[in-house]
């Protein structure tokens, strides 16, 4: 599906920092973080992109700068056009962009999720709390340096932790994640299995 | 040996409406046949739990049809689904509200061991926070498996030293 208007050209006229972004499907554009609320308001009010489909983020790994990119997917319900807007967070240590809750109320929980998972602050958000992990959880799990298995931390409820002795543990991976890779094995007969079966929970992992 | 006695069952005229038995047998008989579950439905296993309760599988045949979200009136918590760390404290608090005696069935892979969720968010088996009596394998288990677990739990309860435990308590 091709866009009926050249969003990039229109945006570039108003926001000179806009650059094209490689995309396999819909038009995509990079914007400066400072332009975000104004550019999205322009897209919503004057270009008809009235629906915020998704708001998410990318962590390009530690040491890469810019490290965090926030991505907005917009839909024009009138023209059935999509556009993807991305912006790099200026700071790698304390990433922050302006909140768009004032434009789309639905952005509220999306921004809370991005804050929870990536630790990106949305300035002007009315209620920026964690949404999936519990309050007081010390990490942001979708950051690249965070291991899938997790990190040993106390349980959210201190009373329950004292009574049961349970903790949030790093999950035993035993060569996982457990996947059935297409092509490698016959999927109709396959059980999901560990990528690396050279070690188990009983037998230690051999040194690399 | 052939006997002329045809009175093979309890006869109130002969026994005078008195039954002699052991306390353990009576208490366990009462407990096994009205095992009211506390449905702790947390994920897709709860759908199978509902199926087990409905007419086709009919958990009522085993006296466990009274599924109310009411821990104080229940005997057996069925943990059906993925227990996240965020939910774990709530599960434990609900377990603490159940009156003794109480039992726990861990239904399915997730409740038993964390299942496929080897991740930062999932409790690696509900036995980290509550004592589990019966584990059910499967993802999700068939209703028959849950009924089997209930029968296993009933068999376990049948052999408990209930009277001794009562005296000790």
3-state secondary structure A94-132: CCEEECCCCCCCCHHHHHHHHHHHHCCEEECCCCCCCCC
SS3 B31: helix
Q: Check residue A5 and give its pLDDT.
A: 66
In the prediction, which pLDDT does B162 show? 84
Question: Is residue A178 a part of any domain in this protein?
Answer: no
CATH of the domain at A75: 3.30.460.80
- Residue of chain A with shortest Cα separation from B91: A160
Residue-wise pLDDT for A68-100, tens only, equals 999 999 999 998 989 999 999 998 889 999 999
Kindly determine whether residue A148 and residue B89, on different chains, have CB atoms separated by under 8 Å. Answer: no
Nearest to A143 by CA among A109, A111, A117: A117
> Partners of A185 in the beta sheet?
A182
Within 8 A of A142 by CB-CB distance, chain B residues are none
- The pLDDT score that the predictor gives to residue A44 is 92
Domain count, chain A: 1
**Cα gap A107→A98, rounded to integer Å:** 12
Cα A50–chain centre separation: 22
pLDDT in tens, A124-180: 999 999 999 999 899 999 999 998 888 999 999 899 999 998 899 888 877 666 666
pLDDT tens per residue, range A102-111: 999 999 999 9
How large a percentage of chain A has pLDDT more than 70? 86
| ipTM of predicted assembly, 2 dp | 0.77
pLDDT at A187: 64
Residue A132 to residue B93, Cβ atoms within 8 A: no
pLDDT tens across A4-38, in order? 568 888 888 888 888 999 989 889 999 999 989 99
Closest Cα in chain B, distance from residue A151 (Å): 7
pLDDT attached to residue B164? 81
Which of B83, B84, B85 to mutate to test binding with chain A, by most A CBs within 10 Å of its CB? B85
Residue A182, in any domain of the structure? no
Residues of B with a Cβ under 8 Å from any A Cβ are 85-86, 88-89, 92-93, 114, 116-124, 128-130
**A chain contacts of residue B89, beta-carbon cutoff 8 Å:** 155-157, 159-160
Question: Which among B93, B118, B129 has the least Cβ separation from residue A171?
Answer: B118
Nearest to B67 by CA among B83, B51, B82: B51
Percentage of chain B modeled with pLDDT above 90: 68
Considering only CB atoms, A134 lies closest to which of B86, B114, B129, namely B86
Chain B: nearest CA to A164, how far in angstroms?
A: 6
Q: Is residue A196 part of a domain?
A: no
Q: Do A146 and B121 touch (CB under 8 A)?
A: no
- Does residue A158 form part of some domain? no
Q: What's residue A1's pLDDT?
A: 46
Domain that holds residue A89: 7-132
Task: Strands of chain A (E only): list them.
Answer: 19-20, 28-31, 51-59, 68-76, 81-88, 96-98, 121-123, 178-179, 193-194
Chain B, nearest residue to A146 by Cα: B120
Q: What pLDDT, on the 0 to 100 scale, is given for residue B11?
A: 73
- Give the pLDDT confidence of B101-144 residue by residue, as tens digits: 899 999 999 999 988 888 899 999 999 999 999 999 999 999 99
Q: How far is A5 from chain B (nearest CA, A)?
A: 43
Fold of B36-157: Rossmann fold (3.40.50)
pLDDT 10s digits, B95-113: 999 998 899 999 999 999 9
Task: Give the per-residue pLDDT at A170.
Answer: 86
Does A155 contact B86 at a Cβ distance shorter than 8 Å?
no
The residue-averaged pLDDT of B21-29 equals 89
pLDDT classification of A204: cutoffs 50, 70, 90? confident
Q: Which residue of B has its CA nearest to A156?
A: B86
With a cut of 50, say whether residue B35 has pLDDT above it. yes
Query: Helices B45-53 and B143-158: crossing angle, nearest 10°?
Result: 70
Instruction: Please provide the average confidence, as pLDDT, over all residues in chain A.
Output: 86
**Position A183 in a domain:** no
A51, part of any domain: yes
Query: Residues B13, B18, B20, B25: is their CA dihedral positive or negative?
Result: positive
d(CA B127, CA A26): 48
């Amino acid at each position: 599906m091709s866009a009926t208007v050249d969003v990039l050209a229109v945006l570039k006229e108003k926001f000179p920092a806009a650059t094209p972004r490689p995309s396999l499907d819909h038009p995509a554009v990079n914007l400066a973080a400072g332009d975000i609320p104004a550019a999205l308001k322009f897209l919503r009010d004057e270009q008809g992109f009235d629906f915020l489909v998704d708001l998410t983020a990318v962590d390009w790994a530690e040491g890469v700068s810019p490290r965090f990119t926030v991505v907005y997917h917009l839909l024009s319900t009138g023209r059935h056009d999509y556009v993807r807007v991305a912006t790099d967070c200026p700071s790698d240590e304390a990433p922050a962009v302006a909140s768009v809750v004032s434009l789309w109320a639905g952005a509220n929980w999306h921004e809370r999720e991005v804050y929870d998972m990536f630790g990106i602050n949305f300035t002007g958000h009315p209620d920026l709390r964690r949404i999936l992990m519990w309050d007081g959880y010390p990490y942001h799990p979708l950051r690249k340096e965070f291991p899938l298995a997790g990190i040993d931390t106390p349980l959210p409820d201190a009373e329950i932790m004292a009574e049961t002795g349970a903790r949030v543990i790093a999950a035993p991976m035993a060569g996982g994640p457990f996947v059935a890779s297409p092509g490698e094995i016959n999927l109709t007969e396959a059980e999901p299995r560990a990528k690396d079966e050279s070690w188990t929970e009983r037998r230690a992992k051999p040194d690399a | 040996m052939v006997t002329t006695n045809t009175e093979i069952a309890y006869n109130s005229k002969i026994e005078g409406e008195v039954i002699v038995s052991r306390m353990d047998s009576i208490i366990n008989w009462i407990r096994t046949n009205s095992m009211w579950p506390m449905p702790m439905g947390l994920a897709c296993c709860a759908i199978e739990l509902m199926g087990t309760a409905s007419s086709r599988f009919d958990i009522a045949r085993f006296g466990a049809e009274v599924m109310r979200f009411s821990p104080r009136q229940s005997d057996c918590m069925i943990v059906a689904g993925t227990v996240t760390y965020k939910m774990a404290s709530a599960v434990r608090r609900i377990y603490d509200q159940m009156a003794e005696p109480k039992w726990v069935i861990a239904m399915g892979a997730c409740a038993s061991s964390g299942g496929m969720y080897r991740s930062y968010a999932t409790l690696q088996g509900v036995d980290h926070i509550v004592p589990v009596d019966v584990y059910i394998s499967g993802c999700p288990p068939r209703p028959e498996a849950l009924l089997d677990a209930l029968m296993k739990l009933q068999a376990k309860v049948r052999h408990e030293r209930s009277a001794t435990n009562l005296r000790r308590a």
